[in-house]
Structure 1
Amino acid sequence: MRGADGLDGVELRHLRAFMAVAEERSFTHAADRLRVGQPALTRTVRALEETLATRLLDRTTRRVEPTEDGRRLYAELAPLLPRLAAALRAHGGQPVLRLGFTSLLPGACAALNAEFEAATGAGVRLVRRDTPLAGLDTGESDIAVLRGDALPDADVRTRVLLREPRVAAVGRSAAAGALARRRVLDWAELADHPLVVNTVTGSTRPELWPADRRPRLACTADNFDEWLEAVAAGHGVGVAPQEVAERHTHPGIRFVRLKNAPPVTVRLALPTRGAHPLAERFFGWGGTGGAEGRGGG
């Protein structure tokens, strides 16, 4: 890479663009995340590569992978950019709390956010990151809403916010047509059907069933949209929080009420050390249970 004297053309937008593509492994997904057009994002990353005189990303028709230089730059920027953003926010007027979430923010959070803003004068900015910790580990969020009991083994504190009922997501294809016509399904009978699992941000895995009667893993998905399409394609049955059924529709899927299903635990999470002061206040603002220890207890 060039020395510091060759970096006059590098701007913060170039670095953010590169980081987003490196994390998403896709220009399309990175463009959606940054809310920019894909051609503009491509030009921004290419401009950074030209300034640094090195290729940062290997591009194929299916996937984008960082090069050796790209991996090195990512590792160096990952801890620096969040600190820079925090420093800029500290001198930017109204304080802002970044609330991370994955595919679906619980509806109850809207009232919680409004109450917090009214009481503190701070703003709450919603940050969607389809990663296990919703951007908490990368510094992209100050506090996060996480679903499920098997939380990543990370250095975080958690508090139970609420518990949500589960529903079954059934494809309308011929293979699953009989299930789609049912009004209610029992949790136990899902063990007889292949299961589609979102392994990154999902909250339902075969291990939730008894060891002697578990559903077979049909396929996995890396995000909510892939999971939805896999169920619609008839690869297997899915299970999701009830709020998904209330806020999402798909022509190839019917959501069916589940009985005897364990609820989905929804938690607030923040770093064990060095948490943002606003995150500490939000953490104590609401919840149905006391604070838990590292990794959710």
Structure 2
Amino acid sequence: MRPSVGNTDVDLSQFRCFIAVVETGSFTGAARRLHVTQPTVSRAVQRLESALNARLLDRSTRHLSLTPEGRAFHADLTEAYAHLDRAISRLHSSSVLRIGFCWLLPEQFSRFVARFAREAGVDFEFVRDDTATAGLDDGRTHAALLRRVPRDRPVTALPLWQEPRVAAVARTSPLARRDHLDWAELADWPLVRNAVSGTTAPELWPPDRRPAVGAVCGNYDEWLEAVAADQGIGTVPEPAARRTSHPSVVYVPLRKAPPVQVSLALPLRGAHPLAERLAAAAGREFRRSGGSAEPGVPPHRDRTPGAKHLISGAKHSFTA
């Protein structure tokens, strides 16, 4: 927005030129400070004086000096710039990119976000939120790393990579002594289901052969305790077996199990500019690695509406 004086517009460049002339004591010094030509500075000050209908500088002596009107205007302008600096500083301090997750934030994603933030010159926070969208619904987070994207929420998702599954069973279960399990045989055992942010549901099995649900919970910690109590078995991405231990839970390799898709989700409308930049960078980063962040994990296939939009529409670089 350009300030208007009478019927004439003035802009910040004219204000900057005037302040630089006053502080350096000459048009030449101002031009040097602002990296422009001396005539550019001179014309800017003249247009400002014309717009204000006031003489700001006394050019009648060998050295420039402020007129009484110029002295008063310079004082007011300096105070206005101080208010502007404070407003910009407050806005910058509040522009923290909040990235949600439900459980088990992958190491490769944490490293990627730290590098993105450093190169883009922004601050970020990881926020655990045990909801279906990890805080996107209520604006608590700007972006979210999800292993299950709810279809009934106004979000768009960018698939990043896939993770293989392992089975989680109680140490007292006969399955705990097995070298491996087949996906199909899990249908014979009760299932512990994390209904909010989990990745395993009976619908993953054929309609005529689905496991019964032995326990339902609302977050990963509750799920782990239910498995430990032998209320049923569960499946989780393989990184969970490496990073989450429990004295009463054994992780068993799975064969022929559907992989878990990891996606970066944003609000369908009104996404935070920093979140859009993050999605653009994530698309480049993980597409470059074939969508596979772990050894042996097959590349993902983009089946999520909006993912292509996030990549093709992203015109920002890391440092944009």
Q: TM-score, with normalisation over the residues of structure 1? A: 0.65
1:139–1:295 distance in 2 versus 1, CA, 3 Å: farther
Q: Letter of the 1:162 partner, please give it.
A: W
Q: Which secondary structure does the structure 1 equivalent of 2:185 belong to?
A: helix
* 1:188 is the counterpart of 2:184: yes
1:94 Cα shift? 7.6
In structure 1, the residue matched to 2:304 is 292
1:292 Cα shift? 3.4
In structure 2, the residue matched to 1:225 is 221
CA distance in 2, matches of 1:295, 1:199: 25
1:89–1:136 distance in 2 versus 1, CA, 3 Å: farther
Q: How does 1:18-57 map to 2 (within 5 A)?
A: none
* 1:273 is the counterpart of 2:269: yes
User: Do the aligned partners of 1:159 and 1:291 also contact (CA within 8 Å) in 2?
Assistant: no
Question: C-alpha deviations, 1:173-193, integer Å up to 9, x for none?
Answer: 2xx1x2001121111110111
* 1:239 is the counterpart of 2:251: no
User: Do the aligned partners of 1:158 and 1:267 also contact (CA within 8 Å) in 2?
Assistant: yes
CA distance in 2, matches of 1:295, 1:240: 24
In structure 1, the residue matched to 2:136 is 136
User: Do the aligned partners of 1:184 and 1:258 also contact (CA within 8 Å) in 2?
Assistant: yes
* Identical pairs, percent: 49
Q: Which has the larger radius of gyration?
A: 2
- Where structure 2 has 5 or more consecutive residues not aligned to the other structure, the ranges are 1-86, 292-300, 309-320
1:111 Cα shift? 2.1
User: Do the aligned partners of 2:167 and 2:233 also contact (CA within 8 Å) in 1?
Assistant: yes
CA distance in 2, matches of 1:292, 1:244: 24
Q: TM-score, with normalisation over the residues of structure 2? A: 0.61
1:93 Cα shift? 3.2
1:232–1:115 distance in 2 versus 1, CA, 3 Å: same
In structure 2, the residue matched to 1:258 is 254
Question: C-alpha deviations, 1:241-284, integer Å up to 9, x for none?
Answer: 11111101101100111110000001101011111000001011
CA distance in 1, matches of 2:88, 2:198: 34
User: Do the aligned partners of 1:100 and 1:129 also contact (CA within 8 Å) in 2?
Assistant: yes
CA distance in 2, matches of 1:283, 1:264: 19
1:209–1:125 distance in 2 versus 1, CA, 3 Å: same
1:295 Cα shift? 10
CA distance in 1, matches of 2:272, 2:222: 33
1:88–1:104 distance in 2 versus 1, CA, 3 Å: farther
Question: C-alpha deviations, 1:32-75, integer Å up to 9, x for none?
Answer: xxxxxxxxxxxxxxxxxxxxxxxxxxxxxxxxxxxxxxxxxxxx
CA distance in 2, matches of 1:199, 1:112: 29
CA distance in 1, matches of 2:306, 2:90: 28
- Where structure 1 has 5 or more consecutive residues not aligned to the other structure, the ranges are 1-86
